[in-house]
Structure 1
Amino acid sequence: MRVVVLPRIGTSEAWRAEARALAGEGVRPEDVSWSRGEASPGLLDGMSAPSGTPRTLTVPRAFPNFADAVICHSDPERFALLYALLLRLQDRPGLLADRADPQVGRLRKLEKAVHRDMHKMKAFVRFREVGAPDPETGRRSFVSWFEPDHYIAEAMAGFFTRRFASMSWIIATPDMGIAWDGTRSELIPDPPRPPDGEDAAEDLWRTYYANIFNPARLMVKAMQSEMPKKYWRNLPEARLIPDLIASAPARVDAMRAAEASEPTPTAVAVARRRETDMDLFLPRNIPGLAKEAAGCTRCPLHGPATQTVFGEGPEDAPLMFVGEQPGDNEDLEGRPFVGPAGQLFDACARKAGIDRDAAYVTNAVKHFKFTPRGKSRIHQRPSAGEVSACRWWLESEAEVIRPALFVALGATALHALTGDGKGILKRRGSFERGRFGAPVFVTVHPSYLLRLPDASKRAEEEARFVEDLAAVQEELGRLVA
């Protein structure tokens, strides 16, 4: 049995080096025992492992980022599972996109759990100032304590040093601490938990939270899902939550009973432009927005269309694809990207290593625009006014999903996301600044590929589209690392 003990700092790099060496010797997955930090007792290190076939490794472009995320998980079998998958990839390069494979499916769940843990760390780290500012530089020092489910501190160091570069700080977790002094970062194994205490900023934070808390939108289960109770003891605003929940019904009744004030001219104009009655008490999540959008009459497209076709996907999706509008199949089924273009999109996404189930897909326009021709309905491109009228829904989806990266599929989506859809073929493959915070990757809509009459040209453009999606997957790995 070959025993491999990986270091706690630099675990991913060490795993890759060990995996290459083991594969080069032809060591089989079942003949390796992996651990992090210390070897399991009772194992016989140094015994020659039964040999398989020596391999020279090649991996898909998406594998390194995928493996880095899985290695951060706390599952003790993650290293062995990854090594077994690595060897299988040599014979099946497209295996990583096979969501039906049990091993890939299990590893995808580990990857998703790590990304969710990283998202929670970004959302729930709260700094507390300690000591006085440095008399020479004026730099202030802060500490924070966070308890992740997985070993994500090293992977998150880059994010926090970029985000809080102007101050000195330590983020301590039970496994690893991140320290930043303004010039360099350092990882500290088993850091002590900072002493309890408060600073003036925590009072300001509680005041802010109390004022933005909307009792009319309260959904306790959804709130606890997004902000699990395990984090509450380290959040200054958490002590307010029980009283805010208890007082919410009375506050809602008071809001309803209060006499309405005269609206401003601007508010009247905005309401007229929207031209729809929205239920302000619907939850601000995707099902609530979809229910709200079902009665949308913002533009004339709602008349001939069968139904509103809203986006779908997980609300914590790091990746959001935006197309043009639903087609004939989507209009009848009420789901996005289920027609021929959607099926082609799914196939290309699999080749690029993108997990469609982990992404959110939607359209810039939510109703099908068409011209009747006999029994057929021929697609028509939405006008700028129709895209503008539907931007409210796209913006609402973006606020809920908060993806790390948008992908504009076609000129209409690019216009909706950036304000300019011109010259898409020249801009294809680039990352641009969007309206909703996260960067926007520019590529064509898969329906463009289907309309190409020449088979060889279509194959060439399809391969290029897969390359575009692979670049998306690669950039996403950097953004969520």
Structure 2
Amino acid sequence: MPTIDLPRLHTDRAWRDAARRLIAAQIPPEDVLWTFATPAQDDLFAGTTPAPMPTAPITVPKSFVALADTVAWHADPERFARLYALLWRLRDHPGLMQDRGDPDLARLRQMEKNVRRCAHKMKAFVRFRDIDGDGPRRAFAAWFEPTHHTVEPTAPFFTRRFADMDWMIVTPDVTARFDAGRLSLHEGQPKPDLPEDGAEALWGTYFRNIFNPARVKVQAMTSEMPRKYWKNMPETRHIPELLANAERRAREMAEAAPSLPPLRAGRILDRLHEDRRADPLSFAALAARAEEENRRAEPGYGRIVLGEGPQDAALMIVGEQPGDEEDRAGRPFVGPAGQLFDRAAQTAGLDRRQAYVTNAVKRFKFQMRGKRRIHQAPNRGEVQHGRWWLRQEVDLVKPQLILAMGANAAEALTGRRDGILARRGMVEETEFGPVLLTLHPAYLLRLPDPAAREAATAHFRADLAMAVARLTA
């Protein structure tokens, strides 16, 4: 049985070389014994005749190479066997790396995540101390106890971060030295007797001052800064005192908080309140303001398309946003979704000419593909921008009922966009008045299954009929 003893340094490359030879020799995983950094074993294939290197390259997915190069640094002694077993299976199943349900791959992915997390902790929690250097460059040293073998793959980060100084990171596993711009790796050693650093008191003062007692979450803190690292970090000696006094300090902060907003914030709040108290613009003034914004339209947006219909309509119908045809015509609901709405409304006994029809978002948002303008979904900021225009229209029309079609209309009118399928057919009381929620005609057009489309269309007609019945009553 081949016994593969891998070295402590350059472990990832040594594993790859060994795995290539084993695959070339057609040696199955169950016939291989993997060991790690055993001093008595110098030969890669101790006790056996070395398998030949493959004459042709072995093709594996790039994702497996990245996985192996990370998992090789895990502390689990079974990591090499697990990697080789997966490599053996990849010969016949090259798509295995995309199988999220495979337990072997899932285990290796978790090991990969653990190694990356350990490397992240090393970058965050290594604390250097100033030591006397022999050369012209300042010299620093640090002691660290990583969970996995992450010193070698993480050392290049420190060479980039601290390229202008000499340093040494000592761990029980591997020691990384950076002298005169050259990185070298050595066997680990016991914890050295490092001198006290005068900067640690300053660092402790900084840590105490950025600690927010009003947002103490011990479980979240220990998750991001595990306790095992505390003994080698100078700032953590202050944590027990900070936690003990957190409640008192939070109370003192609340009592000392200003009773008035800062001057700039106060002016903004006053302006918002004035906008809410002011009378709505007239339809003519609203149209003039839309024309003014249209002249300053940004690329990727159409013009502002205001609503149309009786200015004293009892029913206001709010869609999501104009489409390409609506933008070109300057009128809401004239494209395919509007035509579907008209047919459904006629069946439900709703006369569109008696309703004020508009959209929650006033501009057609698009992306150019060749000569075509492709519709883009609005983001939350664009919904909020349209909300000001919508409020002006509601204040002018004063409808008895608003019919909100789709998630964007629901968000603009009720503050929530979730659960439209569950909320449709229900009337919700809002700051705009009663709002009846329903589906958007565009949603019906996108349903691929005819049966599902017919069922959803029936629900849509029922909601329109409900709006008519409510207004009639």
How far 1:380 sits from its partner (Å)? 4.6
- Which amino acid in the other structure matches residue 382 of structure 2? E
How far 1:84 sits from its partner (Å)? 1.1
**Is contact 1:168-1:182 (8 Å) kept?**
yes
**How many residue pairs align between the two structures?**
292
Counterparts of 1:59 and 1:90, CA distance in 2 = 8
- Which amino acid in the other structure matches residue 103 of structure 1? D
Counterparts of 2:93 and 2:271, CA distance in 1 = 54
Counterparts of 1:381 and 1:187, CA distance in 2 = 53
TM-score, normalised on structure 1? 0.55
**Is contact 1:3-1:34 (8 Å) kept?**
yes
How far 1:79 sits from its partner (Å)? 0.5
- Per the alignment, residue 479 of structure 1 pairs with none
How far 1:49 sits from its partner (Å)? 11
TM-score, normalised on structure 2? 0.56
Question: Is 1:106 the counterpart of 2:102 in the alignment?
Answer: no
**Is contact 2:144-2:170 (8 Å) kept?**
yes
Counterparts of 1:157 and 1:16, CA distance in 2 = 21
- Per the alignment, residue 84 of structure 2 pairs with 83
Counterparts of 2:130 and 2:112, CA distance in 1 = 33
**Is contact 1:140-1:167 (8 Å) kept?**
yes
- Per the alignment, residue 207 of structure 2 pairs with 209
- Per the alignment, residue 32 of structure 2 pairs with 32
- Which amino acid in the other structure matches residue 30 of structure 2? E
Deviation sequence 1:389-432 (CA, Å, 0-9, x none): 9xxxxxxxxxxxxxxxxxxxxxxxxxxxxxxxxxxxxxxxxxxx
- Per the alignment, residue 6 of structure 1 pairs with 6
- Change in Cα spacing, 1:181 to 1:47, as seen in structure 2 (3 Å) is closer
Structure 1 counterpart SS, 2:62: coil
Paired-residue identity, %: 48
Question: Is 1:177 the counterpart of 2:175 in the alignment?
Answer: yes
**Is contact 1:176-1:190 (8 Å) kept?**
yes
Counterparts of 1:61 and 1:17, CA distance in 2 = 16
How far 1:187 sits from its partner (Å)? 0.5
- Change in Cα spacing, 1:182 to 1:272, as seen in structure 2 (3 Å) is farther
Counterparts of 2:139 and 2:264, CA distance in 1 = 44
- Which amino acid in the other structure matches residue 89 of structure 1? L
Match runs of 1:120-159 below 5 Å? 120-131=121-132, 137=136, 139-159=137-157
- Change in Cα spacing, 1:30 to 1:164, as seen in structure 2 (3 Å) is same
Structure 2 counterpart SS, 1:180: strand
Structure 2 counterpart SS, 1:100: coil
- Change in Cα spacing, 1:88 to 1:236, as seen in structure 2 (3 Å) is same
Larger relative contact order (CA 8 Å, sep ≥ 6): 1
Deviation sequence 1:144-187 (CA, Å, 0-9, x none): 11111100110011111111111111011110011111310011
- Which amino acid in the other structure matches residue 104 of structure 1? L
Larger Rg: 2
> What root-mean-square deviation, in Å, do the aligned CA atoms of Structure 1 and Structure 2 show?
3.5
- Which amino acid in the other structure matches residue 228 of structure 2? K
Counterparts of 2:81 and 2:270, CA distance in 1 = 60
How far 1:259 sits from its partner (Å)? 4.7
- Change in Cα spacing, 1:8 to 1:49, as seen in structure 2 (3 Å) is closer
Unaligned runs of 5+ in 2: 274-318, 323-332, 345-358, 365-374, 386-445, 447-473
- Per the alignment, residue 167 of structure 1 pairs with 165
Match runs of 1:370-389 below 5 Å? 370=321, 373=337, 374=340, 380-382=376-378, 386=382
Counterparts of 1:387 and 1:235, CA distance in 2 = 47
Counterparts of 2:271 and 2:35, CA distance in 1 = 61
- Per the alignment, residue 280 of structure 1 pairs with none
Question: Is 1:248 the counterpart of 2:246 in the alignment?
Answer: yes
**Is contact 1:369-1:380 (8 Å) kept?**
no
- Per the alignment, residue 304 of structure 1 pairs with none
- Which amino acid in the other structure matches residue 146 of structure 1? F
Question: Is 1:195 the counterpart of 2:196 in the alignment?
Answer: no
- Change in Cα spacing, 1:185 to 1:384, as seen in structure 2 (3 Å) is same
Structure 2 counterpart SS, 1:94: helix
**Is contact 1:23-1:54 (8 Å) kept?**
no
